[in-house]
């Protein structure tokens, strides 16, 4: 039987709903698909509250990268509304001082007009090294960055830097949960995903081979299959 639950998809840092374009047709055949807007300012708790206020009453919830931080906060706020969780290329850990220092540098550069330069450098970290010169993927990433815009990018960075430590939440998650990582993710270490999978009762860990931080675009079929399997868990 098709999944009757709506699926809410939350993008990552500097990403817009375009990130899920390859998965939407298959997911739509299972039930309604809702693309969350995470680019309107506020800290992580406020972003989560806003998405919950606009979401269906009960739903399956997937979040990529920053979106994973958001959906863990959504689960803390309304666990009874969330039927399934998919944590994609993300972490339950809090921000480190080193990461905050790097993000503050990006904020300074963006405020001086260097948004495109920051995104050009991030693209090289986002994707598998074999795709570093892939013009099609580069164009999609830049288009998503334009969708988000420099002001919202700064808001997102500020929210990420002040996010909570979600590791204590992991043991409280009772719904079917997918934890997905990629073997060449240069943005979020694989051991962060392993930590989440070990901490969530019954979680399923999937590792996508030969892939960087953007499996929706780099390995679309593998990502689609993982999400469809998750909806049947």
From residue 30, how far is each of 33, 94, 217, 231, 233 by CA, in Å?
9, 34, 21, 8, 14
198-219: average pLDDT: 98
**Element of type H or E holding 159:** helix 150-161
pLDDT confidence of residue 9? 98
pLDDT confidence of residue 1? 37
29-37: average pLDDT: 96
CA pair distance 88, 12, nearest whole angstrom: 9
Q: How many other CB atoms are there within 10 angstroms of residue 220's CB atom? A: 16
Q: Which of 209, 185, 205, 186 is nearest to 194 (CA)?
A: 205
179-184: average pLDDT: 97
From residue 34, how far is each of 24, 62, 77, 208, 233 by CA, in Å?
10, 10, 19, 24, 20
**Would the pLDDT of 191 be above 70?**
yes
Q: Which residues contact 115 (CB under 8 A, 6 or more apart)?
A: 109, 145, 150, 153
pLDDT confidence of residue 23? 98
Q: What DSSP string describes 170-221?
A: HTT--S-EEEEEETT-SSS-HHHHHHHHHHSTT-EEEEESS--S-HHHHSHH
* Largest distance between two CA atoms of the chain: 53
**Would the pLDDT of 99 be above 90?**
yes
Q: What DSSP string describes 76-98?
A: HH-GGGEEEEEEES--SSPPPHH
pLDDT confidence of residue 3? 54
CA pair distance 176, 49, nearest whole angstrom: 22
Q: Where are the domains of the chain?
A: 7-95+156-232
pLDDT confidence of residue 4? 79
**Would the pLDDT of 18 be above 80?**
yes
CATH homologous superfamily of domain 7-95+156-232?
A: Alpha/Beta hydrolase fold, catalytic domain (3.40.50.1820)
**Would the pLDDT of 45 be above 70?**
yes
**Would the pLDDT of 147 be above 50?**
yes
């Amino acid at each position: 039987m098709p999944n009757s639950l709506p699926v809410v998809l939350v993008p990552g840092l500097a990403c817009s709903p375009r990130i899920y374009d390859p998965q939407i047709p298959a997911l739509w055949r299972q039930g309604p698909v809702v693309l969350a807007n995470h680019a309107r300012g506020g800290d992580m708790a406020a972003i989560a509250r806003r998405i919950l206020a606009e979401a269906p009453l009960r739903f399956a919830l997937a979040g990529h990268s920053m979106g994973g931080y958001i959906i863990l906060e959504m689960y803390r706020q309304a666990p009874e509304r969330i039927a399934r969780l998919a944590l994609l290329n993300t972490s339950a850990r809090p921000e480190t001082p080193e990461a905050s220092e790097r993000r503050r540098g990006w904020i300074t550069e963006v405020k001086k007009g260097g948004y495109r330069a920051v995104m050009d450098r991030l693209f090289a970290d986002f994707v598998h090294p074999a795709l570093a010169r892939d013009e099609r993927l580069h164009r999609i990433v830049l288009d998503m960055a334009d969708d988000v815009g420099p002001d919202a990018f700064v808001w997102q960075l500020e929210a990420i830097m002040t996010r909570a430590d979600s590791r204590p939440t992991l043991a409280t998650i009772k719904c079917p949960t997918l934890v997905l990582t990629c073997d060449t993710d240069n943005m979020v270490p694989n051991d962060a995903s392993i930590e989440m999978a070990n901490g969530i009762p019954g979680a399923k860990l999937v590792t996508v081979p030969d892939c960087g931080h953007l499996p929706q675009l780099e390995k679309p079929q593998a990502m689609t299959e993982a999400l469809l399997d998750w909806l049947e868990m």
